[in-house]
Every structure is written in structure tokens, then in C-alpha cells.
Amino acid sequence: MSKVIVVTSGKGGVGKTTTSAAFATGLASKGYKTVVIDFDVGLRNLDLIMGVERRVVYDFVNVINGESGLKQSLIKDKRVDNLYILPASQTRDKDALTAKGVESVINELKQEGFEYIVCDSPAGIEKGAFMALYFADEAIVVTNPEVSSVRDSDRILGILQSKSKKAEEGGSVKEHLLITRYSPQRVNDGEMLSVEDILDILAIPLLGVIPESEAVLQASNQGNPVILETKSTAGQAYDDVVSRFLGETIEHRFLDVEKQGFFKRLFG
């Protein structure tokens, strides 16, 4: 049975697209037929982070408007089997997304046997973000450990709980919290909210904590989902996230300040 998962948050720049790319790649790496859709019409970035920008011919809006077929528009990833990308249009505006059109594409993806349909939401609470979350079965709410980001995530939770299709039908979207750019040292110094602070405010289950890491920017610039950077802490944390999502019990890592060994303290 197919599941539609939205990666969302109110605030921009928190790591939604990085998360969408890493999460979809992780699911596909574990054998699940997965597609990730860019809902950020007009400002697409998912194709860059996935390293497929030169292979974009048709896009999500083309499919909705009947200007191309779904199979023509899907881009198959060359690194990971079972992984496909449906890019956003760079030349249209967000009004090009209609509930009927989005539902039609999602239904066709389900008929094509996709087990996971990951929707990469744009920032804010406007039409693109609403379309990304409306048909979701589950939501990964991405937040940074700062007050404004957490407040915006709380607003998105309210929309998921009241305006999603599942909510309208009397059900609920299953919610997961993902904290990105987390620095235990800065938490200790009082510069960031702690995991406990964020959980107290948002009160949804914690799926994972992604540590602050230079590997995220490096991977994005190279068009490589960071989960494939297996030696990096961020890549390992995203791999843990995917495993937890799939039901494995894995202890949360990278929450405490790393203790330095004697030689590291001595020689820096």
C-alpha cells in the first residue's frame, strides 16, 4: 500500500529539501520504490540537491496540465535503484497546482506501484505548501532549534490537524518531528533550544536529530543526498531516521557534546 509523506515546516531554510532528498534516498536504498516530488513551483531546488538538474525535460506542472506523461517526466536516479524524482516547474507560479491535478498525479504514482511518495514542501503556508500537505498520510515536520522556527512548525501542525484531507474526513495525519542543525555545544552555551524544550512545545514524537555538519552543504553543492555520505554524522543521523520511520528501535545519537580524548585535547 502506498504512503504519501510530506516534509514540511513553516519557516524557510530549515533543511526541508535536504531532508526530502535524504529521506527518499534512504527509503529507496532499503528496497522501497520511492518518488520525491518538488512542490516549490517557481523556485525549484530539489533537482540540484539530487544532482539531476541537467536531466529535467518535463516537470510536475507539465504532468498536471497534460503536457507530458508521468513516465516522461519522472527522472530515475542513477545511484540508487527504486528512486525517482519529479521536479517542479521553474517558469510557472504556485497557482498552477490544483487539488484535482495533484490528486490525479498522486493516484497515478500509486497505480505505478510507488510504495512511498515524498512531497517536498515549499516554505510558508501558501498554496504550494498547502497542496504538498493536503493529501499526506504522514508528515515529517522539520525544525531548527530556535524559537521562530519552532513557532512556525507549531502553526504547520495546526494546519495538518485541521485542513488536510485526512482531517476533513475525520482522521489525522501521523506526525513526526525532525530537528536539524543541532549543536549540543551551543545548547549547553544557551544559544539553542534543547531537544526537550522543542518536544515540550510541539508535543509530537521525535523521529530524529540531525547534527550541524559541513557535510550537508558540501553534499548539496555536489548534487549528492547527504545520506550517501556515510562517514558524516549528518549522513548517519539521516540513515537512523529512515530506519526509525520503518519501525526499527534505534537510540538517538549526536545529542551530547562529544568528549575529547587526551591526545585531541593535547594537540587540538
Task: Compute the average pLDDT of residues 191-205.
Answer: 96
User: What pLDDT does residue 187 have?
Assistant: 95
Q: How far apart are the first and last CA of the chain?
A: 52
Q: Mean pLDDT throughout 175-185?
A: 97
What average pLDDT does the structure give for the chain?
93
Candidates 42, 82, 83; CA nearest to 60 is: 42
The 3-state DSSP class for residue 226 equals helix
Distance from the Cα of residue 164 to its chain's centroid: 18
> Is pLDDT at 261 greater than 70 in this prediction?
no
**pLDDT exceeds 80 at position 91:** no
Read off the C-alpha cell for 56. 529535467
Contact 176, 3 (CB under 8 A): no
pLDDT bracket for residue 107 (50, 70, 90): very high
**Which residue is associated with the grid cell 507560479?**
93
pLDDT for res 96: 82
Mean pLDDT to the nearest integer, 236-243: 98
H-assigned helices in the chain = 16-29, 46-49, 60-64, 70-73, 99-111, 127-134, 147-163, 165-168, 184-188, 195-202, 214-221, 233-245, 262-267
Q: What is the pLDDT of residue 186?
A: 95
Burial of 233 by CB count in 10 Å (0-12 exposed, 13-18 middle, 19+ buried)?
A: middle
Cα separation, 16 vs 119, in Å, equals: 10
pTM of the model: 0.94
Q: How far apart are CA 38 and CA 30, in angstroms?
A: 22
Distances (CA, A) of 12 to 92, 135, 153, 197, 215: 20, 21, 11, 21, 20
CA distance 3 to 215: 29
263, pLDDT greater than 80: no
Q: What is the mean pLDDT of residues 170-194?
A: 96
Give 231's DSSP letter: T
